[in-house]
């Protein structure tokens, strides 16, 4: 039981680390090998966080299906975001110069993949909000924030060719806040307090 609490808290905390590291890795938007490695590591941490969100949502058999769909959409979005780094690495490893047609094509491919990743991430947040409103797995204010973040992500994903994705920054903020909430809920002391109230 103690090991389960620890693993739950670590998975929940990975969301906060993911948000902070990915924001830091963005830097000024230019390419740097260290920031690319940092971003890849950060995105890897998003997967256990998304899984923990899904675990928190599965409070009943009725919500298990939507919770699973939310996790699937979230992981799909993270995989697409991971893939967006490949064109940037490739063009810099090949030593392509800025301004050439090939360089511009690879850059647009990276940007397009990032924009595409926003749609499944938006679905993840919207489904999280839907389930949380239905079963109370999250506070109402956090469920509402999930819904607003999801709508922003879906709207931003519709802007084809966008080089600026403000909804991703909102998603990072939501991940940070949700991570802190899940860590508190998963703590043994907090569980004990909830148990006392339930009695």
Tens of pLDDT, residue by residue over 4-15, are: 667 888 999 999
**Number of domains comprising the chain:** 1
Predicted confidence (pLDDT) at residue 193 exceeds the cutoff of 50:
no
Q: Which residues contact 157 (CB under 8 A, 6 or more apart)?
A: 115, 116, 118, 119, 122, 167
CB 119 within 8 A of CB 77: yes
Mean pLDDT confidence for 137-163: 91
CB 152 within 8 A of CB 174: no
Q: 64 is in which domain, residue-wise? A: 2-198
Give CA–CA dist 90/16, Å, rounded: 29
Tokens of 46: 């998003």
Predicted confidence (pLDDT) at residue 61 exceeds the cutoff of 70:
no
Give CA–CA dist 40/18, Å, rounded: 10
Give CA–CA dist 78/49, Å, rounded: 11
CB 9 within 8 A of CB 52: no
The residue assigned the tokens 């948000």 is 19
Predicted confidence (pLDDT) at residue 55 exceeds the cutoff of 80:
yes
The mean pLDDT value of the chain amounts to 86
């Amino acid at each position: 039981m103690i090991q389960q609490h620890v693993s739950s808290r670590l998975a929940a905390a990975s969301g906060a680390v993911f948000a902070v590291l990915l924001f830091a890795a963005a830097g000024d938007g230019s390419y740097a090998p260290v920031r690319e490695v940092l971003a890849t590591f950060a995105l890897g941490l998003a997967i256990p966080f998304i899984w923990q969100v899904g675990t928190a949502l599965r409070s009943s058999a009725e919500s298990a299906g939507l919770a699973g769909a939310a996790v699937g959409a979230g992981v799909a979005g993270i995989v697409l975001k991971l893939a967006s780094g490949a064109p940037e690495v490739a063009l810099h490893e090949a030593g392509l110069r800025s301004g050439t047609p090939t360089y511009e094509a690879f850059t647009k491919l990276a940007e397009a993949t990032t924009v595409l990743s926003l749609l499944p991430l938006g679905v993840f947040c919207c489904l999280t909000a839907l389930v949380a409103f239905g079963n109370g797995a999250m506070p109402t204010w956090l469920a509402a924030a999930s819904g607003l973040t999801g709508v922003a992500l879906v709207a931003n994903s519709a802007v084809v060719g966008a080089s600026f994705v403000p909804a991703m920054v909102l998603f990072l903020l939501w991940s940070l806040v949700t991570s802190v909430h899940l860590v508190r809920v998963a703590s043994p002391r907090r569980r004990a307090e909830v148990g006392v109230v339930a009695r």
